[in-house]
Structure 1
Amino acid sequence: NTIVEIRAGAGGSESALFAADLYRMYSRYAESRGWKLETLDSSPSDLGGFKEVIFSVSGSEVFKRLKYESGVHRVQRVPATEAQGRIHTSTATVAVLPEAEEIDVQLKPEELEITRCRASGPGGQGVNTTDSAVQIIHKPTGMIVRCADGRSQQKNKQQALTVLRSRLLEQRIAQENAKYAAQRKAQVGTGERNERIRTYNFPQNRVTDHRIELTLYNLPAVIDGDLDPLIEPLMAHDSEERLAALRL
């Protein structure tokens, strides 16, 4: 299982709309591969986008394929709210985390601050009438996880614990990988948030993956979930880089 987190970046409301486009893109891709997708938490924007959306994906080869989506995604297009027809550039970040089991990351009760709160929708309106949303603070690291999309407080708590374990596992893996940064500096799919990995240029019908300098002129198909023409070259490039690192 894999946890995917999408967050709106630079660009205001247009960035939130782009985050929603990415969520739809991954939903369609998951559907095409027979994967199961479940939304864990979301923070809708006023115009129908997402400030943040977190979901889990389960199925065959999920992390193997989706891990290359980690990073900064950039969109260039004329926003629906743009009256002058000017092209805007916005971004959204994607984080792809392997779902950690209890055996991978053990959480001590005394390290957790668990509170319940009421879920809310766009503009702060309540989406249910019970305090079913759950927020967990991991005291040693300061990490905060909130889940509100489950039907019960218990389910939201379990989902929040799952996300927290995954984030802690990612942090541990990143620290271990840093020891080998010199050998792996060219590796694709490290998940660094500050790297611009892909640009979606709507006026030119172009998608460019900057890590392997691959450009495709079929943007509508990509946004509709046809990601294999991007992911499979990334997988091949990653394999080549790993073999090269072993020869060092």
Structure 2
Amino acid sequence: MFDKLEQLEARFRDLEAQLGDPEVVSDGQRYTTVAKQHAELADVVAAYRDWRATGDDLEAAREMLAESAGDDAALVKAELDELTVRRAELEDRLKLLLVPRDPNDDKDVIVEIRAAAGGDEAGLFAGELQEMYLRYAQRQGWRTQVLSEAAQGIGGIKEAILEIVGDGAYAHLKHESGVHRVQRVPATESQGRIHTSTASVAVLPAAEEVDVQVNPNELRIDVYRSSGPGGQSVNTTDSAVRITHVPTGLVVSCQDEKSQHQNRDKAMRILRSRLLQAEQDRRAQERADARAGQIGTGDRAEKIRTYNFPQSRVTDHRIGLTVHNLTDLLNGQLDDVVAALRQTEREARLAAVQDEDGS
């Protein structure tokens, strides 16, 4: 491990020198690439340097202890114990930082939200989840776009597809995939009884054309007139687009834009992301690791989180995390939950790597 850390530190110093090179600075694209690589190594190099400095401090404390007596020795011994704990913590952190990252972590995401069990109440909850993710993205400084949305009559949504563009968006949001459950008294409930409703969320890494090659001959593209609530026509031209990927049977429809070209572009972005996810799932199954290092199965049928309104409680069932700030969470303050999920993923990946090394 420490040979690798030395190599990473040498690479970090080289990148640091390049960032000060006028030739690199004058080349915008090259500078951006170097700066990104430098930032990716910053945490592990800082932890390694801290670990090394703590080792030097430990050695000095041992020498002082050998020369001390009485109260002085007790003070040095206490410092030695603190340094020992600190170094062990840094070593554990280094192990986590060296675990291979998910190659999709830097990608943008497509988030699909659908009302599930619970009728109108499920649609209202799905709409609240949509707002939660949009607000979280805004807090992160990311760009968002609603690619497709089907509203329901009393408010809320039947389905929404969002595109979120930002650094590390997939790393932060990928664990949101699954079934989200809400427990509360609906506004229409006269007896005050608590109802349970659900909405499903799927978070897909956004796929570029270089990630997924789609053969145009394998697509069936239908155009039709957009329709509003109740089936009323909202467009007098055939601007809505339905794309079917014949080999897989995947179907994507978009009708939110007035331009057929814009709807087709949106539909293709969604289709590419679904195809990329399907291919990655297939490869994971072939390797028999079934998303090793991730939290839960990621299956949309898996209940991952419960939002209990009467107790203002949110519980993530995969990691046993319970918080009592439901309103803040729905306002996009997901940082603590996201951090806990990412930490658990890193620990799971580390355990998987150690199992492989021991086998």
Q: TM-score, normalised by structure 2?
A: 0.67
Q: Is 1:92 matched up with 2:199?
A: yes
Residue matched to 1:202: 309
- Greater displacement, 13-22 / 124-133: 124-133
Query: 2:137 maps to which residue?
Result: 30
- The one-letter code of the counterpart of 1:148 is Q
Are 1:11 and 2:112 an aligned pair? no
Aligned to 2:178: 71
Structure 2 unaligned blocks of 5 or more? 1-107
**What is the Cα deviation at residue 138 of structure 1?**
0.7
Inter-partner Cα distance in structure 2 for 1:183 and 1:111: 29
SS across alignment from 2:223: strand
> Which among 169, 176, 187 is matched to residue 80 of structure 1?
187
Are the counterparts in 2 of residues 45 and 123 from structure 1 also a CA contact under 8 Å? no
SS in 1 for 2:322: strand
Tell me if 1:40 matches 2:120.
Answer: no
> Which residue number corresponds to residue 230 of structure 1?
337
Q: Identity of aligned pairs, percent? A: 55
RMSD between aligned residues:
1.5
Larger Rg: 2
> Structure 1's 131 and 53: CA in aligned 2 closer, same or farther, altered over 3 A?
same
Deviations 1:136-172 (A, max 9, x none): 0111111110112234110110110111011011001
Please state whether the residue corresponding to 1:60 is helix, strand or coil: coil
Q: Secondary structure at the match of 2:141?
A: coil
Distance 1:191 1:183, change over 3 A: closer
- Cα distance in structure 2, aligned partners of 1:82 and 1:129: 41
Cα distance change, pair 182–30 in 1 and its aligned pair in 2 (3 A): closer
Which structure would you say has the larger RCO, counting Cα contacts within 8 Å and 6 or more residues apart?
A: 1
The question of 1:58 aligning with 2:169 is answered no
Which has the larger strand fraction? 1
Structure 2 letter corresponding to 1:85: G
The answer to whether the Cα contact below 8 Å between 2:118 and 2:196 also exists between their aligned partners in 1 is: yes
Paired residue type of 1:149: D
The answer to whether the Cα contact below 8 Å between 2:290 and 2:297 also exists between their aligned partners in 1 is: no
Give 2:109's aligned amino acid.
T
Cα distance between partner residues in 2 of 1:183 and 1:81: 42
- Decide whether the 8 Å contact of 1:67 with 1:189 is kept in 2: no
* Alignment of structure 1 residues 177-196 onto 2, 5 Å: 177-182=284-289, 187-188=294-295, 190-196=297-303
Q: Which residue identity does 1:233 align to in structure 2?
A: A
Q: CA deviation at 1:54?
A: 0.5
Q: Structure 1's 183 and 44: CA in aligned 2 closer, same or farther, altered over 3 A? A: closer
Whether contact under 8 Å (1:43, 1:121) holds in the other structure is no
Q: Kindly indicate whether the alpha-carbon contact (under 8 Å) linking 2:205 and 2:277 is maintained by their aligned counterparts in 1.
A: yes
- Is the partner of 1:56 in helix, strand or coil? strand
Partner of 1:142: 249
CA–CA distance in structure 2, aligned partners of residues 8 and 40 of structure 1: 17
| TM-score, length basis structure 1 | 0.95
Deviation at 1:184, TM superposition (A): 5.2
Structure 1: which amino acid aligns with 2:205?
Answer: P
1:190–1:60 CA distance, 2 compared to 1 (3 A): farther
CA, structure 1 residues 90+161, in 2 after alignment: closer, same or farther (shift >3 Å)? Answer: same
Residue pair 1:40, 1:54 contacting (<8 A) in 2 also: yes
Whole-angstrom distance in 1 between the partners of 2:241 and 2:129: 25
Q: Where does residue 326 of structure 2 map in the other structure? A: 219
- Which structure shows the bigger proportion of residues in helix conformation? 2
- Provide, for residues 112-144 of structure 1, a one-character-per-residue CA deviation record: whole Å limited to 9, x for no partner: 111112222332233444322111011111111
Unpaired segments ≥5 residues, structure 1: none
Judge conservation of contact 2:292–2:352 (CA < 8 Å) in 1: no
- Using the TM superposition, name which of 119-128 and 38-47 deviates more: 119-128
